[in-house]
């Protein structure tokens, strides 16, 4: 998924915190809800401006961010 279509970071919106485009819903709040076990339907009920694709974009963003932060395995000397 191309999460970049759905997530923006603008210094004029929520102080530059990444949010879902067209909303003020911070992605960290959505991720925290998922981590606590909230279902997609519950999050959508809490944030009426979101669509299911927005939740998937947040998950894709988190996966890409985690991948960038993971240390590379060391390469054995030959």
Tens of pLDDT along 46-77? 999 999 999 999 999 999 888 776 666 666 66
Query: Which token pair is 55?
Result: 């939740």
Domain hosting residue 57, numbered range: 3-67
pLDDT attached to residue 65: 86
Q: Confirm whether 72 is domain-assigned.
A: no
Residue 75 CA to residue 31 CA, distance in Å, equals 33
Q: pTM of the prediction?
A: 0.81
| Domain presence at residue 45 | yes
CATH of the domain at 44: 1.10.10.10
CA angle (65 as vertex; 12, 28 as ends), nearest 5: 50
74 lies in a domain? no
Q: What is the DSSP letter of 26?
A: B
Across all residues in the chain, what is the average pLDDT? 89
Domain count, the chain: 1
């Amino acid at each position: 998924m191309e999460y970049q279509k759905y997530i923006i970071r603008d210094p004029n919106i929520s102080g530059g915190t990444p949010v879902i485009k067209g909303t003020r819903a911070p992605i960290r709040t959505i991720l925290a809800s998922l981590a606590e076990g909230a279902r997609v339907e519950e999050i959508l009920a809490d944030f009426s401006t979101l669509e299911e694709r927005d939740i998937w974009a947040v998950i894709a963003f988190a996966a890409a961010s985690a991948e960038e932060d993971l240390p590379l395995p060391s390469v054995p000397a030959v």
